[in-house]
């Protein structure tokens, strides 16, 4: 694939990027893209993630300060906003919320066997944290006119997908917060709030999802453009942070190669047919073997 180069889309813009843990993280790729487009920003993650992950390494590579913040803790968010505005020299033009965690999924708790304390934590970390960030931004008047806030979601927010567990509820709540806060912040200060519904990408948080390999193959065969990569996601984030999308808010935008609009694809039928043929071959072999025995 050819590189999309850089276009100074974000020249002079200041932001905060939540959630870059390691080089596979969607936020990591977005930080690289924002840097290439001329933005300056602060990176943030939990204290535990900063200790165990590679956020500091990324900070050095892109010349960004790294500030610890648990996105469920409003005192932490307040401190982060104050320090970021002081370091970057003014109010913020963009925020990336790239945060999710489910103990139920990590511990293989099925949707009909949830631990409700874990569910609370899933919702708090993966959805309510966006509300907290936006509410603290409003209180501190931390965002510029026409600033842009982007969060990352997944199609299981609106369609049934076994194995996505309580994260599907968190994503549905997250998209609702996008609409409601987008409505309020748009009127107040022309601030845009959008969600990107992303194709599956192999990252740390995606490992929580146990049927991940099958689903990658399925989604890749179904989507007319194939899976949208994390670089594609980063490019769309930069576009949404830029002035080219000043009229876009309260949306869930699909970066999924067309998967969400596809019922069945020729590629998938072929893939499935070959699988069935192999299955029948194996079955015939077994029957033959049984007859010979
Ligand atoms: N990978 C995919 O296939 C995919 C697809 C669609 C949407 N998404 C979404 O993209 C986002 C980023 O996930 P990723 O796939 O890059 O995985 P990732 O594991 O790299 O990122 C998740 C991040 O959330 C951070 N986090 C967890 N608890 C936090 C807290 N309390 N405060 C602040 N940060 C916290 C983690 O430290 C980590 O950096 C998530 O919302 C995820 O659901 C991912």
pLDDT, tens digit, 9 for 90 and up, residues 170-203: 999 999 999 999 999 999 999 999 999 999 998 8
pLDDT confidence of 5, banded at 50, 70, 90? confident
For residues 258 and 271, state if they share a domain: no
Ramachandran assignment for 53, one of left (phi > 0), alpha (psi -120 to 50 degrees), beta (any other) = beta
The domain of 50 spans 14-262
Total domain count for the chain?
Answer: 2
Q: Say yes or no to pLDDT of 3 above 90.
A: no
pLDDT, tens digit, 9 for 90 and up, residues 232-286: 999 999 999 999 999 999 999 999 999 999 999 998 899 888 887 876 666 666 6
Q: Considering only CA atoms, which residue is closest to atom 37 of ligand 1?
A: 49
pLDDT, tens digit, 9 for 90 and up, residues 71-109: 999 999 999 999 999 999 999 999 999 999 999 999 999
Ligand 1 pocket test target in 55, 71, 152, 168 with most atoms within 8 Å of CB: 152
Q: Which ligand 1 atom minimizes the distance to the CA of 55?
A: 39
208: CA distance to ligand 1 center in Å? 11
Provide the CATH number for the domain around residue 154.
3.40.50.720
User: Cα 249 to the chain's mean position, in Å?
Assistant: 17
For residues 250 and 282, state if they share a domain: no
In a domain, 273, yes or no: yes
Kindly report which listed range (79-83, 92-96, 156-160, 206-210) carries the lowest average pLDDT score. 206-210
pLDDT value of residue 2:
56
pLDDT confidence of 293, banded at 50, 70, 90? low
82: CA distance to ligand 1 center in Å? 24
For residues 86 and 119, state if they share a domain: yes
Q: Considering only CA atoms, which residue is closest to atom 24 of ligand 1?
A: 99
**For ligand 1, is residue 80 a contact (CB within 6 Å)?**
no
First-to-last CA distance in the chain?
Answer: 53
Which DSSP state fits 127?
Answer: I
In a domain, 1, yes or no: no
Q: Say yes or no to pLDDT of 291 above 90.
A: no
Q: Considering only CA atoms, which residue is closest to atom 17 of ligand 1?
A: 205
**For ligand 1, is residue 206 a contact (CB within 6 Å)?**
yes
98: CA distance to ligand 1 center in Å? 5
What backbone torsions phi and psi does residue 266 show, to the nearest 5 degrees?
Answer: -60, -45
For residues 210 and 271, state if they share a domain: no
pLDDT confidence of 208, banded at 50, 70, 90? low
Kindly give, in sequence order, each residue whose CB lies less than 8 Å from that of residue 280, ignoring residues fewer than 6 positions away: none
**For ligand 1, is residue 125 a contact (CB within 6 Å)?**
yes
**For ligand 1, is residue 221 a contact (CB within 6 Å)?**
no
pLDDT, tens digit, 9 for 90 and up, residues 100-150: 999 999 999 999 999 999 999 999 999 999 999 999 999 999 999 999 999
Give the C-alpha distances (Å, rounded to integers) separating 171 from 5, 128, 163, 178, 286: 32, 10, 14, 10, 45
For residues 36 and 106, state if they share a domain: yes
Which DSSP state fits 209?
Answer: S
For residues 184 and 293, state if they share a domain: no
For residues 147 and 234, state if they share a domain: yes
**For ligand 1, is residue 71 a contact (CB within 6 Å)?**
yes
């Amino acid at each position: 694939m050819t590189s999309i180069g850089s276009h100074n889309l974000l020249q002079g813009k200041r932001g905060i990027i939540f959630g870059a843990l390691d080089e596979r993280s969607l936020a990591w790729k977005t930080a690289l893209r924002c840097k290439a487009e001329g933005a300056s920003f602060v990176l943030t993650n939990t204290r535990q993630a900063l200790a165990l992950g590679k956020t500091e390494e990324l900070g050095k590579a892109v010349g960004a300060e790294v500030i610890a913040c648990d996105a469920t803790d409003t005192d932490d968010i307040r401190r982060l906003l104050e320090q970021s505005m002081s370091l970057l020299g003014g109010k913020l033009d963009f925020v990336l919320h790239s945060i999710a965690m489910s103990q139920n999924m990590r511990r293989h708790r099925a949707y009909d066997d949830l631990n409700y304390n874990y569910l609370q934590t899933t919702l708090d970390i993966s959805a309510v944290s966006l509300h907290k960030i936006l509410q603290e931004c409003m209180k501190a008047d931390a965002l510029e006119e026409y600033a842009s806030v982007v969060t990352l979601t997944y199609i299981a927010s609106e369609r049934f997908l076994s194995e996505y567990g309580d994260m599907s509820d968190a994503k549905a709540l997250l998209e609702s917060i996008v609409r409601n806060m987008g409505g309020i912040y748009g009127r107040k200060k022309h601030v845009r709030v959008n969600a990107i519904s992303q194709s599956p990408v192999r990252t740390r948080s995606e490992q929580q999802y146990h049927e991940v390999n099958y689903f990658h193959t399925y989604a890749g065969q179904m989507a007319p453009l194939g899976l949208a990569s994390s670089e594609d996601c980063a490019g769309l984030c930069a576009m949404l942070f830029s002035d080219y999308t000043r009229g876009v808010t309260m949306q869930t935008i699909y970066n999924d190669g067309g998967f969400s609009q596809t019922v069945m694809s020729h590629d998938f039928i072929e893939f499935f047919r070959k699988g069935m043929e192999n299955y029948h071959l194996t079955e015939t072999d077994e029957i033959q073997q049984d007859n010979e025995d």
